[in-house]
Structure 1
Amino acid sequence: MDIEMQDMVKALTDTTEYTIGQWYYVAGQLDGYPVVVSRTEQGLANAGASTALAMEYFNPVAVINQGTSGGHDPELHTFDIVLGETTVPSAAWMTEASAKGAGVDYKAMTMNGVYAYDKNQKTFVKEVKYPGDETLLNCAQAVAETYNKGKVVKGVISSSDEWNNQIDRMLFLHELNGSSCEEMESNSVAQVCKTYDVPYLGIRILSNTGIYGEDFNPETGSACQEYVLNVAKNYIQTVLNK
């Protein structure tokens, strides 16, 4: 969504716009370093496709996927930020077998994972959890004190083409995966980044949480971008320009 990217675009200088396929990108400079902002559009397929195209056209040295999310963790509220220590594909599961007429038990399942290319095994490997890059995570934690609109915590970002409004299901996903929040893009971006062997980190702000009846707040989009710009600047200064 535009509210999740427009401030980042404004922070760039010497910008050039690109449309590749149907996906939109803005390339420019951030503190003198080349940066590309991508509007992935909503959903796992769009996020994966736009990230793969970015890999081929822009050859990034690192990827941060950021934006809004809904809360799963009862300890978190709107404007809290989750640093994706891991992301999980929360809709990739296998149900336990049952007979016709036995009813539906949404808890009778195991996580099944999704596939990404592993450079060491030289094949596509199924993973349930995709870890965030440690260096990017450290850079994000190092600037956490610059954020004063909520907490900044390490956690688990849950990705699927789902929109969960049932509080018991939110709490179930939190119990099942340790999920801090849910959204629709991060894990597919993580898959593509692993396939291309590019460092990746997901950063998500809670724009709402049904657990506490906190409705969507569009101002969270700008708050997250402001923080992520500080993360990117820290990474550029301490890692890329070192």
Structure 2
Amino acid sequence: MKIGIIVAMQSELDCVRRLLENPREERHGASLFIVGTCGAHELILTQSGIGKVSSAIRAYELIDRYRPNALLNTGVAGGIDPSMRVMDIVVGSEIVYHDVWCGEGNVWGQIQGLPPRFHSDPALVEKALQVETSLRIYKGLMCSGDRFITDPVELAEIKQLFPEGMAVDMESGSIAQVCHMRGVPFLSFRIISDTPGIEGHIAQYNHFWDDAPQRSFEVLTSLIAKL
């Protein structure tokens, strides 16, 4: 199976690239792809950068050049549901833009002409939920947009629009949209780095990086082994 993996940040890339056996770097213009194997799978790993535009461009490039059988997006997210704790895993069975409004005739988060929400591939979702880990794993709605959520007022606005929202991030929506348009099975799963809206959540985020990358790496390793 040929699997594309997109992360946003250098710290995530450094962790995930340890999955690859016999890695080689392939550069196309300004874009770097790291190609290798993991068991019976061929993996194509890339760091998109933060935000919708950067992640959409890199997802399109990866699909166009490598034709993966599936595309995984992993990394960190902010927990926005009271049940969420730092180090929980959210499997994004649905993904919606929290910062898109195209006017009458569309629901909030819907780009006109596209579905109101994008759906991760059901088979990939089930595989992710079967991963054996000491971390808590949840399935639910990821809310994606070009804002790093820090203000309790912003959080309340998102929860009012999407009461079932579990987490917020800045890349899942755009990658899901590209995969939807290109017909590529997609999965977003992320580890909770902080819980916006509570006092001291920036400290949560800073302390998170001490241990979380390794734990997230273990979950990704287990997931790929199940594919």
TM-score category of the 2 structures, normalised to the smaller one: 0.7 to 0.9
1:190 paired residue number: 176
1:152 paired residue number: 137
Larger relative contact order (Cα-Cα within 8 Å, sequence gap ≥ 6): 1
Deviation for aligned residue 1:32: 2.8
Structure whose CA Rg is larger: 1
2:99 to 57, 69, 91: 91
The residue matched to 1:77 in structure 2 has which SS?
Answer: coil
Deviation by residue 1:114-159 (Cα, 9 ceiling, x = unmatched): 26xxxxxxxxx3222101100000111111xx221x3100011111
- For the pair 1:42 / 2:34, whether they are aligned, the reply is no
The amino acid of 1:48's aligned partner reads A
Task: Give the Cα–Cα distance (whole angstroms) in 1 for the partners of residues 118 and 36 of structure 2.
Answer: 29
Task: Give the Cα–Cα distance (whole angstroms) in 2 for the partners of residues 110 and 137 of structure 1.
Answer: 25
2:127 paired residue number: 139
Task: Give the Cα–Cα distance (whole angstroms) in 1 for the partners of residues 94 and 29 of structure 2.
Answer: 30
2:6 paired residue number: none
What TM-score, normalized by structure 1, do the two folds share?
0.81
Task: Give the Cα–Cα distance (whole angstroms) in 2 for the partners of residues 165 and 95 of structure 1.
Answer: 27
Deviation for aligned residue 1:74: 1.1
Task: Give the Cα–Cα distance (whole angstroms) in 2 for the partners of residues 166 and 95 of structure 1.
Answer: 25
Q: Percent identity?
A: 23
Contact 2:147 2:170 in 1 (8 A): yes
Deviation for aligned residue 1:95: 7.2
The residue matched to 1:126 in structure 2 has which SS?
Answer: coil
Flag structure 1 segments of 5+ consecutive residues without an equivalent.
97-108, 116-124, 236-242
Deviation for aligned residue 1:225: 2.4
Deviation for aligned residue 1:87: 0.6
Alignment map for 1:1-242 (pairs within 5 Å): 1-93=9-101, 111-114=108-111, 125-143=113-131, 146-148=132-134, 150-177=135-162, 178-212=164-198, 213-214=200-201, 215-216=204-205, 217-218=208-209, 219-235=211-227
1:120 paired residue number: none
Flag structure 2 segments of 5+ consecutive residues without an equivalent.
1-8
Deviation for aligned residue 1:209: 1.1
Deviation for aligned residue 1:21: 3.0
The amino acid of 1:191's aligned partner reads Q
* Deviating 4+ runs (over 4 angstroms): none
Contact 2:102 2:110 in 1 (8 A): no
Contact 2:97 2:144 in 1 (8 A): yes
In the superposition, relative to structure 1, how do residues 222 and 56 fare at CA in structure 2: closer, same or farther (>3 Å)? same
**Count of aligned pairs between the two proteins:** 211
